[in-house]
Amino acid sequence: MRFVWFWTFWHWTTEGFRSGALLRSPLQGVASHWDEWYQHEASESERQEIDAAGRSVFEQRRFICWLARRWAREARWRDEVLPGRYVLAQLSRVSPFDKWPVFEKYRTTYASPGIAAIVLDQESAGEPGDVRRVEAVALTQDEDAAAGAVVSDGFHTDSGELNTACRAAMSLLNGKGLVVFIALWIVAGVRPYPRFLRVVLIAGWIAVVALIVRLLFGSDPGPQLMINVAVLFALWSLLLLTSVAVVAALAFNAWRTGRELRRRMEARQIHLRMSDGLSVQGGSAGLAFCLNALLATYRSHPHVTRPTWLWERFFRRLRDASQTWAATGIVDADGGVDHVVLDPKIRACLRNANVTDVLTPWQDEARQSAIERVAATTRLVEPTRQTGGMVLGFASVKKKLRSHRCRHAAQSIMAVGDFTSRSQLMANVLALAVTVVMALALPDIRNVLTPPAPPRVVLPGSPSPYYLWVSLDTKRPDAFRVELESGFWSNRRSDVVDYGGADASVRAEMRLSRHGRQTTIDERDGTVWIERRNKFLNREFQAGERIASYPFAHITGLHHD
Amino acid sequence: MISEGNEEQEAPARVLYMNVRDGRLRLRFQLAPVPRSDRLFELTFVSETGLRPILSAQADLSGDGEYRVDVELPSELAAAWETLKVTDPMPFRFILRPAPDKT
């Protein structure tokens, strides 16, 4: 077995932690523990073996490979695979590894790049170096009560700012922030439909609109009305059900996975690293810290998000964005993004060759047009590379920097995850408008598709001899119409209405006036017909089936009864 | 308490490692909240109960803002502190005086 001495150290540190001699866990305190063990606990032969491993670069490399690939998997801490790169970064600072050349690249990085923070040097007008690389790892939390939920590494800042960023990240995973994100996504977020299904759905909504227009403005469909209305209702229901089911399933999944990620984040300590030894004043790096805390949590448990399309898409894109995105903005615990000094930061991003996108608070200075104005007046600096003593110079090129303004950190999730879809927004507006129309038309659709039973004529009749009241025992007055045919009285047709007041009833009221060309002198002559009414919103179709008839004399006699 | 000339400053110390073995105390601690850059401190242990000095030692900076103490203990202190864990309330306080760097 190779590198037994490292196993001996690991045994010493785990036992030391279990026995209460060490405050920090073997993972959190690995550098300090190694220093103690190597300087004061290792035997002479172990020290010789370590020195032997450090004598050649080849052996040093072997040790690093062994530690990252084998030891990290086998050692485990609290049933979790150890973050090999973090351990290497920690060990790279202590003896004897601080003198091993192969540890050089681990001294400044955890190899977990995140969204860059824009932190200005004092009196900087916006230089490329103000865009600071931020790295984040999530480690298993120690029981140590004094250990904060977020730890800064390589820079100093107010722990309150870090904790606020962490709380904002938790809110985005499972809190108000998640609600805002889901709401934004529902309104304008791309859906995970395959291309053909997307086309079918859009075609479906257009067909619904066409049917509505046909019913409102087209020729009277006559006997085809029922088929038209049935097709319209079925299509609209299917589309609405599909949309609601997809949104509900994805949102529920996101909520459930977010809750799991939040639980894991709470059980972990987030280590944020910036290598410049800065003392960060103010909270303008809060948005970058918040996003990097999310990324660190995802990296520690990437399998958790796999079944959730929303989170998986966001985290994959966040991981890719870490090379080219920067962020600035003060976040509060609920994820609200507050204003910062922006002009020099925009200039810093423009001058930094790596940055293509910047997340900012909702400020005028961050409008795309404003950025293009700044870009036009900012001297851009291209990186110069040296090859064999030759300095390569590059002419200034126009740089495209995309700005993503956010009032809430949830909007940064939308931006990084590239969720915003104009076509989806338009489809949603169309679907909403159609649904409002359909909701208003639902009583009419119901009357056409499931007509109510024929009603009977009931009391009260009209108290006045100049009026005819035809009261019906129905709860759906919109479904009927009453028609009077008489040789003595003018023929009339009237809608059935639900009247309130002292003589409350569902009835049709008609004013009785004599016919201009009477065919009889019998004022009791006439028939009252009850017929079905076909309408769609304000469009009346030709009368439906006549379902009952009463002698005029019977109706007028009702009052006296 | 950190005593620098006429100035005195109080700061909590976080004990990271404590081991009493063969009559020697090995201790690592960190000063909060902001790590100091002093490489060496003269350290006086003051009894928590009697508020009297009980031990004197030197604390060396040992990477990442941690200070390390390695000192021989009187037998009664060794016996009393042998069972102490880092998470227990410590029966002592420190008075730290920055010492000139040996190097």
pLDDT tens readout for residues A305-341 = 888 999 999 999 999 998 899 999 999 999 999 999 9
For range B65-93, the mean pLDDT: 87
Whether A506 and A424 share a structural domain = no
- B63 CB neighbours in chain A (<8 A) are 31-32, 35, 93-94
Is the Cβ pair A36, B86 closer than 8 Å?
no
For range A25-34, the mean pLDDT: 90
Chain B window 30-69: which residues touch A at a Cβ cutoff of 8 Å? 32-34, 62-64, 66, 68
**CATH number assigned to the domain comprising residue B56:** 2.40.30
Q: What is the dihedral of CA A198, A202, A207, A213, to 10 degrees?
A: 170
Query: What's the CA gap between A493 and B48, in Å, rounded?
Result: 102
Whether A424 and A507 share a structural domain = no
For residue range A83-134, what is the model confidence (pLDDT) as tens digits?
888 899 889 988 899 999 999 888 878 878 899 999 988 878 888 889 999 9
Helix-helix angle A309-321:A225-266, to 10 degrees: 60
For residue range A246-275, what is the model confidence (pLDDT) as tens digits?
999 999 999 999 999 999 999 888 989 887
State the pLDDT at residue B18: 92
Is the Cβ pair B17, A19 closer than 8 Å?
no
The set of residues, in sequence order, having a beta carbon less than 8 Å from that of B92 and lying 6+ positions away, is B45, B46, B47, B48, B54, B55
- B85 CB neighbours in chain A (<8 A) are 19-21
Query: What's the CA gap between A110 and A466, in Å, rounded?
Result: 94
Q: Is residue A193 part of a domain?
A: yes
- Where a domain ends, among A74, A107, A140? A107
What is the number of alpha carbons within 13 Å of residue A301 lying toward its C-beta? 22
Beta strands at A156-157 and A497-499: parallel, antiparallel or unpaired: unpaired
- Where a domain ends, among A78, A107, A136? A107
pLDDT of residue B38 exceeding 80, the answer is no
- A29 CB neighbours in chain B (<8 A) are 16
- Asked if residue B54 lies in contact with residue B92, where contact means CB atoms within 8 angstroms, the answer is yes
Nearest in space to A419 (alpha carbons), one of A302, A247, A263, A303:
A247
- Asked if residue A360 lies in contact with residue A330, where contact means CB atoms within 8 angstroms, the answer is no
Q: Which of B16, B62, B70 sits opposite A23 (nearest CB)?
A: B16
Q: Which of A21, A39, A93 sits opposite B64 (nearest CB)?
A: A93
For residue range A289-311, what is the model confidence (pLDDT) as tens digits?
999 999 999 988 888 888 899 99
Nearest in space to A526 (alpha carbons), one of A476, A479, A486, A472:
A486
Whether A436 and A503 share a structural domain = no
Query: What's the CA gap between A470 and A450, in Å, rounded?
Result: 23
Q: Is residue A348 part of a domain?
A: no
Is the Cβ pair A22, B26 closer than 8 Å?
no
Name the DSSP letter for residue A129: G
Residue in A with minimal Cα distance to B70: A40
Whether A20 and A75 share a structural domain = yes
State the pLDDT at residue A276: 72
Is the Cβ pair B68, A24 closer than 8 Å?
no
- For testing contact with chain A, the best of B20, B21, B26, B28 (most A CBs within 10 A): B28
pLDDT of residue A418 exceeding 90, the answer is yes
Is the Cβ pair A20, B88 closer than 8 Å?
yes
pLDDT band at B40 (very low <50, low <70, confident <90, very high): confident
Whether A435 and A482 share a structural domain = no
- Asked if residue B16 lies in contact with residue B35, where contact means CB atoms within 8 angstroms, the answer is no
Q: Is residue A524 part of a domain?
A: yes
The set of residues, in sequence order, having a beta carbon less than 8 Å from that of A22 and lying 6+ positions away, is A13, A16, A29, A33, B16, B17, B86
Give the three-state DSSP class for B49: coil
DSSP string of A263-308, one letter each residue: HHHHTEEEEEE-TT--EE-SSTTHHHHHHHHHHHHHHH-GGGGTT-
Tell me the residue range of the domain where B15 lies. 2-98
Is the Cβ pair A22, B86 closer than 8 Å?
yes
Interface of A with B (CB under 8 A): 16, 19-24, 29, 31-33, 35-36, 39-40, 93-94, 143-144, 146, 156, 159
Judge whether B79 is closer than 8 Å to chain A, CB to CB.
no
Q: Is residue B103 part of a domain?
A: no
Q: Is residue A268 part of a domain?
A: no
Counted across chains A and B, CB pairs separated by less than 8 A come out at 52
Query: What's the CA gap between A552 and A509, in Å, rounded?
Result: 13
Q: Is residue B49 part of a domain?
A: yes
Query: What's the CA gap between A32 and A12, in Å, rounded?
Result: 13
- The Cα angle at residue A327 between residues A326 and A328, in degrees rounded to 5: 140
- B17 CB neighbours in chain A (<8 A) are 16, 21-23, 32-33, 36
- A159 CB neighbours in chain B (<8 A) are 33
- Asked if residue A131 lies in contact with residue A86, where contact means CB atoms within 8 angstroms, the answer is no
The set of residues, in sequence order, having a beta carbon less than 8 Å from that of A501 and lying 6+ positions away, is none
Q: Is residue A53 part of a domain?
A: yes
- Where a domain ends, among A43, A77, A107? A107
Q: Which residues pair with B13 in a beta bridge?
A: B31
The set of residues, in sequence order, having a beta carbon less than 8 Å from that of A477 and lying 6+ positions away, is A495, A496, A497, A498, A506
- Asked if residue A321 lies in contact with residue A289, where contact means CB atoms within 8 angstroms, the answer is no
For range A154-170, the mean pLDDT: 90
Nearest in space to A168 (alpha carbons), one of A305, A286, A310, A317:
A286
Judge whether B26 is closer than 8 Å to chain A, CB to CB.
yes
Q: Is residue A137 part of a domain?
A: no
How many domains does chain B fold into? Answer: 1
Bond prior to A460 in cis (omega within 30° of 0): yes
- Asked if residue B26 lies in contact with residue B16, where contact means CB atoms within 8 angstroms, the answer is no
State the pLDDT at residue A182: 97
Is the Cβ pair B87, A23 closer than 8 Å?
yes
Is the Cβ pair B63, A29 closer than 8 Å?
no
For residue range A178-205, what is the model confidence (pLDDT) as tens digits?
999 999 999 999 999 999 999 999 999 9
Judge whether B87 is closer than 8 Å to chain A, CB to CB.
yes
Whether A442 and A461 share a structural domain = no
Give phi and psi for A334, each to the nearest 5. -90, -5
For range A381-392, the mean pLDDT: 48
Is the Cβ pair B28, A32 closer than 8 Å?
yes
Whether A541 and A465 share a structural domain = yes
How many domains does chain A fold into? Answer: 3
CB-based burial of residue B45 (10 Å sphere; 0-12 exposed, 13-18 middle, 19+ buried)? buried
Give the pair of three-digit tokens for residue A400: 């495209």
Whether A424 and A473 share a structural domain = no
Tell me the residue range of the domain where A522 lies. 457-557
